[in-house]
A and B are shown apart, each in its own frame.
Chain A
Amino acid sequence: MSLKRAEKKEPLIRMVKRDDVSPRRAWAYRGIAFVLALITGGLLILALGHNPLLVYRDMVVGAWGSPTVIRETVKLTVPLLVTALALGLAFRMKFWNIGGEGQIMVGAIAAGAFGFFTADIFPSPLLITLMLAAGMLAGGIYGFIPAYFKANWNTNETLFTLMLNYVALALIKFLMNGPWKASGSSFPKMPMLAPAARLQQVLGVHWGWILALVLVVAAWFYFNKTKHGFEVSIVGNSRDTARYAGINVKRVIMRTMFISGALCGLVGVLQFAGTDYTITEGITGYVGFTAIIVAWLAKMNPYGMVVVSVFMAMLERGSNTIHTIYKIPASASNLLIGIIFFFMLGCEFFIRYRIVFRGRTPAVPVELTGNTGIMPASAASPFELSESEEAGNA
């Protein structure tokens, strides 16, 4: 129609979907993205007037430099790892549980009911068992509630679980100010846990770290080898397929979220009886949110979560160190986590797509050929797995 149009060139950059990428190449991309993230963070540190290399070195030393700090790092890893396992379970079902914070808090509160008030009644092993059971039950119920509504009316679970976080927070504030306020304290705070109710230490860290490692293996088996795990994957892929396979979808959603919440509740107990010995507004240490990223970065793989959560804990621990040495605010860890994750999210694109610049045709593909009596894999239907499906919400 118009000659002007006719002169238009081919687009400068085009995206073409890749088929398969070798795992090695994929990890190479992720490695590059990680390094770029560190460089970006380094520029920020540079802008603050410090040597990024020294700061990074001190972060690592601050996390691994001595047995004491290693123990601290492990202590930070445990809640992060267990929460990531819990949330990963829900995410496999495409259930956006961002209520880990709340589930951890109610877990701690339920454990507190026993820990603060029955320490004189029960012997230590029974007391701790009761605390664990109560914490997991409370967390489980807290996870079950939004699942119940999601299963029956498809209620938006993202906001539901999130709002429950604030409800739990208000509950802690209430207990801290009133019924559970430590006697004789002028500040609103809860008492310290009696020694009998505290978790024993193994190699200088409460035994929760052993439990966490056991849970990692258990989670892997649950995901990959059990009927429950299989059902969770199917429900996560398509509810219609799940119904077709004879799965009671509602039950799976509610069951899975109960387990997810219970694991978060367990984290609450571990933090309460293992490290803090009391309950404050900061009991969660924000792991309900950071664990989302751990689970996602590890692609829901429990073993991957170990690696990522150790790394995250190192960042956090390291941030405290550089706060002391360089007076860089401790919030730097969140900032750095954000930057790293932005890069990791972005690099997935380069694993799934190829970029073609103007004037260069994509490499000649290999044509799939069939054998006896069938058409070649029908040329125009390369069914692709669209990973953007995962977003569906509300």
Chain B
Amino acid sequence: MSETLAVHMEHITKTFGRVYANKDVSLELRQGEILALLGENGSGKTSLVNMLSGIYFPDSGDISVHGNKVTIRSPRDAYNLGIGMIHQHFKLVEVFSAAENIVLGQPGAVAMSRRKNNLEVAQLAQRYGFEIDPAKMVYDMSVSEKQTTEIIKVLYRGADILILDEPTAVLTPHETEKLFAVMRNMKADGKSIIIITHKLGEVLAVSDRVEVLRKGEYVATVNTNETGKSQLTEMMVGRPVSLKIERPHVSPGEVMLEVVDLSCHNSDGLKVLDKVSFTVSGGEILGIAGIAGSGQKELCESIAGLYPAIGGAVLMRSELEDETIMEPVLGLRPDVISKKGISMAFVPEDRLGMGLVGAMDVTDNVMLRSYKNNKGPFVDRKTPRALAERLIEQLAIVASGAGAIVGRLSGGNVQKVLIGREIAQAPTVLIVAYPVRGLDINSSYKIYDLLNEQKKKGVAVVFIGEDLDVLLELSDRLLVLCGGKVSGIVDPRLVTKEEVGLLMVQDVTEASKGATEPPPEQLQMELPLQESTEEYFSESLNTEGNRPA
């Protein structure tokens, strides 16, 4: 029986400190199949496969590979067993070339020749139909090039069991489809593949069977062609849920934030933002879409006064002494901006690296943005402590109290502290970057509700997201960034995911004209859909529609 299994994990348990990452979980990967490992963020998918790839060691349980019981103590052991993992966060040495990364750690002659390595890698890439420049340095690579390098690295080691951890998180719809094609090729080549994902559409598109985990525990394994979205969702969350994100109708108010021709350089002196212009009115959510690294981080940080711009202007509505004007704020520090009578709240992408201090308690973190409010040289902890206690209660934050260390809270609770604090400032402009990254479904929906609540209060919300489905459902307008330029501002009610996906990779020169400021409710872009792309999408459209009914 077990001979047919490429991998058999039985009764695996793994703990971190006092929490279970996996509790009595089993997994069966058949020879030559694609198994999707499905579960919410924090359900223990990555922990489970990390024990297969030698990153973690299980507390208890057995692992068999090709029918033999094995002990995997390190990534080296995993390679020797033919197991290769493509991690979500790429494990590539930035200052090495593609070829150096690929041959790294492999046996061979002591003396190395760069030319020979490059040649060898190029040949392997050719065999599987990858496009890669072996001499290219990793720091010069795009995200998908890095992923390609990772895959070749695993193949170079002769792996016949491949694990891909959330491989599509950073890819455009087009690149995703290309990756799935590669996966089907590899399957045809006899490889057994595990793909980790929390996106139902991808599960249905590429896998043969699905194993579902929930809260670190095994739920069930089903054949993909015998299941559907609602069943999978129910298994994932544990109860039937409506995955509909609300988009309450609010009549738009005054313009609160205006960005004009904003440009920024990165540390290498290259343009990461190129003449970005848009406005946001009170009572609307402007979504911002784009592949990772298209300038989202620089955009929100330069608006918030945390990143230097090289040109353009940022204006915010200021109400000071009964006078309402659009105040230029570009280049001002956050505390200076707030002194101008502007209440701007910003939820940064890096929660514990920028938004919060992990080593401090909730009170001090709440105090972070307000400690200058009282006079005198001493800090006042009374007010922030009261606010901290209120936030814990209102947002149902799981913490022992206002004195709990933020870094020890779970991801969802950390985010609630951050968003709660920012919203407590009663902002007129709220910028949120990837607010649901790493959160489970319930926490995510709580966050969407909070954002909608702010929108109803007349706040201008800028929502930077990565999940196109969410962006399309939540936003009132959707701005698409591509290579630091605005490639379109569209009405999410009138476009498809694929059209937005195209804008994400499109050269701005041939994209929409006058993308600067569209009147609301009107589709701005003119999609130059070409024959070939239409053909390409016609296939993927069948699997489209992650949006639950």
Contact = CB atoms under 8 A, between A and B. Distances in A.
Q: Is chain B in direct contact with chain A in the complex (CB below 8 A)?
A: yes
Given A226-B379, A230-B379, A246-B372, A241 B356 contact: yes
Given A361-B60, A378-B42, A380-B46, A240 B354 contact: yes
Interface residues of B, number: 74
Contact of B47 (A5, A6, A361, A380): A380
B434 interface: no
A246 B81 contact: no
Contacts of B350: 240
Contacts of A383: 352, 358, 407-411, 414
Contact of B21 (A6, A244, A376, A380): A380
A368 B398 contact: yes
Contact of A241 (B47, B353, B411, B438): B353
Interface string B332-371: 0111101000000010101011111111100010011101
A383 B16 CA distance: 10
Nearest to B70: A6
Main secondary structure of the interface of A (DSSP, over half): loop
Contact of A379 (B19, B80, B333, B398): B19
Interface in A343-392: 361-362, 364-368, 370-385
A247 B372 CA distance: 10
B15 interface: yes
A227 B354 contact: no
B306 interface: yes
A379 B43 contact: yes
Contacts of B306: 240, 243-244
A225 B80 contact: no
Nearest to B15: A365
B443 interface: yes
B141 to A, nearest CB: 25
Nearest to B408: A383
B77 interface: yes
Given A237-B358, A365-B19, A380 B216 contact: yes
Interface in A1-23: 1-3, 5-6, 8-11, 14, 17-19
Given A17-B16, A227-B379, A375 B69 contact: no
B473 to A, nearest CB: 22
Contacts of A243: 306, 333-334
Contacts of B359: 237, 385
A14 B44 CA distance: 21
Interface in A182-235: 225-230, 233-234
Smallest CB-CB A-B distances: 9 pairs = A246-B335, A378-B42, A19-B17, A377-B410, A365-B18, A240-B354, A246-B334, A378-B410, A379-B216
10 contacts: A238-B354, A367-B20, A374-B396, A376-B398, A377-B412, A378-B411, A379-B44, A382-B17, A382-B18, A383-B358
Given A17-B16, A368-B19, A378-B440, 5 more contacts: A8-B70, A244-B368, A245-B368, A382-B408, A383-B352
